């Protein structure tokens, strides 16, 4: 069984390449999961390690300018996964993933300009945690017979059923709209005034419902409700438009960084 459900090589707006991958949700090897990005001179190798060992995290940026290859050569990339049960390899990708070099550079320039605009104008620096959809299963709240989540406010997996519950943090600049407030009732945190915002961010990592956004200046927590692509280059996301709602102060989501640090 090949556990990799997808592998991408996408532009990093400030660097060279950003590698990301996903694992099939039904892959159940115990943790830790140790990933390494590898490069080769052909799709058959020989392979050498490009990244350090990355534990329980599905992405890596190479920093740019480290690939040494002749004019007639093309590098190839793959991801190696080691678990306590075995070693697995992803499908092989060429340097620009699904894009040609021209489109790759165009996508990177779109992201670079948006990040620069956010930095010098009204953007907000955020830490983003992507909700886990794969990874070792939580040993605290899953029903051993059915595999169902028994505690949606579990302080280990935060209701995701995975450990770690969130991948990150990713540093992202976001441009926020004005807020719209409404009152919500919650069995665990009581009644609070919920604020919703729309924001624009660069296209990687691609965000989804349930991901966590933390305002680095105020430490406020926001959960993503919706995400749409605002700009793409040949189906590769460059800019995304997200809708987020502010989490109440007593929400378990405020423990995410405590858990990750521990």
- Coil, strand or helix at 220: coil
Q: Which of 63, 91, 64 is nearest to 77 (CA)?
A: 91
Q: Which of 242, 180, 176 is nearest to 212 (CA)?
A: 242
Please tell me what DSSP assigns to residue 90.
P
Examine the pLDDT at 76 and tell me if it is beyond 50: yes
Q: Which of 40-54, 66-80, 116-130, 232-246 has the lowest mean pLDDT?
A: 66-80
pLDDT at 62: 80
Inter-residue contact 168 to 130 (CB < 8 Å): yes
| Prediction pTM value | 0.74
Phi, psi of 95 (to 5 degrees): -55, -40
Please tell me what DSSP assigns to residue 86.
E
Phi, psi of 14 (to 5 degrees): -110, -5
> pLDDT averaged over the chain?
83
CA angle, corner 201, sides to 220 and 215, nearest 5? 15
* H/E stretch holding 101: helix 101-120
pLDDT at 70: 46
Instruction: Please state, for a pLDDT cut of 90, what percent of the chain lies above it.
Output: 29
- Residue range 36-56: average pLDDT? 91
- Residue range 54-73: average pLDDT? 68
pLDDT per residue over 203-257, tens digit each?
888 899 999 999 998 888 999 999 999 999 988 888 999 999 998 888 888 888 7
Please tell me what DSSP assigns to residue 15.
S
Q: Residue 77, Cα to own-chain centre: how many angstroms? A: 19
Question: Tokens 């991958």 belong to which residue?
Answer: 21
Q: Which of 23, 175, 196, 204 is nearest to 104 (CA)?
A: 204
- The residue that leads in pLDDT, 86 or 136, is 86
Residue 103: count other Cβ atoms within 10 Å of its Cβ.
15
- Coil, strand or helix at 104: helix
- Structural domains in the chain, CATH included, are 4-97 (2.60.40.10), 110-261 (no CATH)
């Amino acid at each position: 069984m090949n556990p990799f459900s997808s592998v991408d090589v996408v532009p990093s707006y400030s660097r060279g390449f950003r590698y990301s991958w996903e694992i099939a949700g039904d892959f159940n090897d115990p943790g830790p999961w140790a990933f390494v990005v590898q490069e080769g001179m052909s799709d058959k190798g020989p392979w050498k390690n490009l990244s350090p060992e990355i534990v329980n995290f599905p992405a890596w940026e190479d920093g740019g300018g480290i690939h040494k290859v002749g004019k007639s050569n093309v590098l190839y990339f793959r991801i190696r996964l080691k678990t306590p049960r075995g070693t697995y390899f992803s499908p092989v990708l060429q340097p620009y993933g699904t894009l040609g070099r021209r489109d790759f550079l165009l996508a990177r320039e779109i992201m670079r300009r948006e990040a620069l605009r956010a930095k010098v104008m009204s953007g907000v620096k955020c830490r983003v945690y992507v909700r886990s959809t794969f990874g070792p299963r939580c040993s605290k709240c899953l029903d051993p017979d059915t595999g169902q989540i028994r505690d949606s406010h579990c302080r280990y997996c935060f209701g995701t059923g995975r450990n770690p519950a969130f991948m990150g943090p990713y540093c992202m600049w976001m441009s926020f709209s004005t807020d719209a407030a409404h009152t919500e009732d919650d069995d665990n945190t009581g009644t609070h005034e919920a604020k919703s915002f729309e924001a624009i961010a660069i296209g990687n990592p691609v965000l989804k419902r349930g991901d966590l956004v933390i305002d680095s200046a105020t430490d406020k927590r926001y959960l993503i409700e919706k995400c749409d692509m605002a700009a793409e280059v040949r189906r590769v996301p460059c800019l995304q438009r997200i809708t987020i709602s502010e989490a109440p102060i007593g929400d378990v989501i405020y423990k995410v960084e405590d858990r990750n640090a521990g």
